[in-house]
Amino acid sequence: MARLIEHRKCEDGHSSVSCALQVLVYWATSFNSTIEAKVEEMQSTMAAEFEYLWALFEPGKIMVIENFRGMKGLTACVSLVGVEELTDDDTRKLRLTVQTIDTASGKYGYHKQIFTIRSFVGKEHVCDLGLYPLPYHKDSQELEKRLVSRGREFIQLTSGDCFHYQQYVGKVFLDGSDVTSDWEGKRIMVDCALNKIRSSSVVPKITRGRGNSWLDPDKLTDEELLICSGTVPAITMSGGTMGAAAIDCLRPVEWRDISVAKNVGLADDTKAKMEIVMQVAKAGFGHQQSTVILFHGDGNSGKKWTVEVIAEELRRPNFIILPFSHPQSSPMEWTYEFCNRWGAIMHVQEPINAMLDRGRHVPPAHFIGLECLVDDLRTLKGVVCFMTTSHAKWIQPELWPSVTFGVEFKKARAKGVTLIWSNVVAKAGVELTDKEIQSLAQEMDKISQINSVVKLALGLAESEGSKPGLEHFERARDMRKEFLEGTEVGQEMNHYT
């Protein structure tokens, strides 16, 4: 692995394109040889000016363009889908066809752009990192050598045709926060693909979590090196203050053991409740290929939790928005509301000093639906436990192109852990007392109540005349019927028809 591309300031009188380039290039595959690449001049076929560009030119990987379309502060994420070498007047040209991920319009989608590098001088294979933006660092060449010598592995944002979250462990530095020391060594979820870059004036000012000690980008040590720019995920502090984080020492981790939930640092009584709930979840949805429990924390106390069980289907589920109106009446002992649910996942020790909660901000410009987790869930076995924040509720579902539909139920005056049964295609939550949780762990009598909830949701789908909604719950009915067949509760399935 060699060095970074040198910085170049270039002017193009014909197109008025002025740009400073910082590029990582991997041409060995494209040209069937090991070459060096040194960009001398760059021009875009679009009518746009680029002040900065850093990218990884490798098919199937991500490159990020800062100040996209000449708009300062706007970052575009694109994937290189084609490379063509051209010859014009004895001048070598490279034409890059990229798939642009639209993160600014409020819609999640793709459209293609074409960028042309007019001339270049070949040198040598530079690197094959998945994503490596360090534009703020003065001595990037020396920095790269240190990183490579330590055998770093970096984020790879894509898998197939869609984005995926990756789990990493490492140090986290928050902008303007004094609680970041609690994050060191913790597992977090990184959704780095669709987050805006921090401005160049702010990026170097990232705290270590000790008062107001700022990191000097010109004096970073090996222990303080940061991965910034496009890899900065959005973080919401527990007090409601927005912050930005940079993650160092990235290393993929996986959770495949139910014992994870027994060591999340909760209070003893809460641990006991979680163990009971996990037993219920595993017994109730153990037939599914994979099950995930999401622990939803309420503030910093750690005394109130919501447990969401996601039991995945064997095939990839469809996530759609169902345009339901708020129901006017309900069973006597229940109050409920419809809500779209989505939550990014993280794991920290109690007390929860900061939590990742994208759902509290409507609408975020950069949205990734829960379906992004599906393929990753497909590889998991048993019950996997994560920790996240409270329910996400949106009153404008048209803002969300692809999210799950959920029904949240709360029993009046009930206290304790909230148990959310979820099979991804239909959700019904029951807030239980400690006694009821224990009963549910030993018996299955509560499943009939859950079935009645889905029946009610199905009735609302019929009244709305929503064909996707009907299919949505018919699949839930079939799954429950298969699961409950041969049990006393199985007789309840007649209510669905």
Average pLDDT along the chain = 35
Question: Quick one: what percent of the chain has pLDDT higher than 70?
Answer: 0
Per-residue confidence (pLDDT) for residue 228, from 0 to 100: 29
Kindly indicate the confidence band of residue 83, based on its pLDDT and cuts at 50, 70 and 90. Answer: low
Confidence class for position 97, pLDDT limits 50, 70, 90: low
Across the range 192-214, mean pLDDT stands at 30
Over residues 399-436, the pLDDT tens digits come to: 222 222 222 223 322 222 222 222 222 222 233 344 44
Angstrom distance (rounded) from CA 127 to CA 124:
9
Q: Taking the model in full, what pTM does it have?
A: 0.23
Q: 81: pLDDT confidence band, cut at 50, 70 and 90?
A: low
pLDDT computed for residue 325 by the predictor: 27
pLDDT of 336 > 60? The answer is no
pLDDT of 281 reads 39
